[in-house]
Amino acid sequence: MASVLVVDDAAFMRMMLKEILEKNGLKVVGEATTGDEAVRLYKELNPDLVTMDITMPEKNGIEALKEIIAADPDAKVLMCSAMGQQAMVLDAIQAGAKDFIVKPFQEDRVMDSIRKVLR
């Protein structure tokens, strides 16, 4: 069972994602609300996968992604973006994100993406 760190500043989004992941047999090992917390928890928990929100206060998802990739070049990070964030998604992919999912989350799209990243 793959372990996942869910990162989003919105509790509702974390809850929705957690529900999809757990229903599909993945284990959510941690939740973070800021980029700094995401980096700290990644190093602490060493999850198989991170779902990373792009837009967060303090440190955004792309900055956190860069720090995680610097610490672990093999990290599997899946970016979560709202519609209209294509430019930021491209930045994230160039910075090492493996894929992205768009909010509002659709279970089949989320799981397709996760399976692809974990393969």
Model confidence at 85, in pLDDT bands (50, 70, 90)? confident
Range of the domain at 44: 3-118
Q: What is the CATH number of the domain that holds 18?
A: 3.40.50.2300
Overall average pLDDT of the 23-48 stretch = 98
Report the number of distinct structural domains present in the chain.
Answer: 1
Overall average pLDDT of the 37-63 stretch = 96
Contacts 24+ apart (CB under 8 A), 31-36: 31/5, 31/6, 31/7, 32/5, 32/6, 32/7, 33/7, 33/8, 33/9, 34/9, 34/58, 34/59, 35/7, 35/59, 35/60, 35/61, 35/63, 35/64, 35/67, 36/64
Instruction: State the pTM of this model.
Output: 0.95
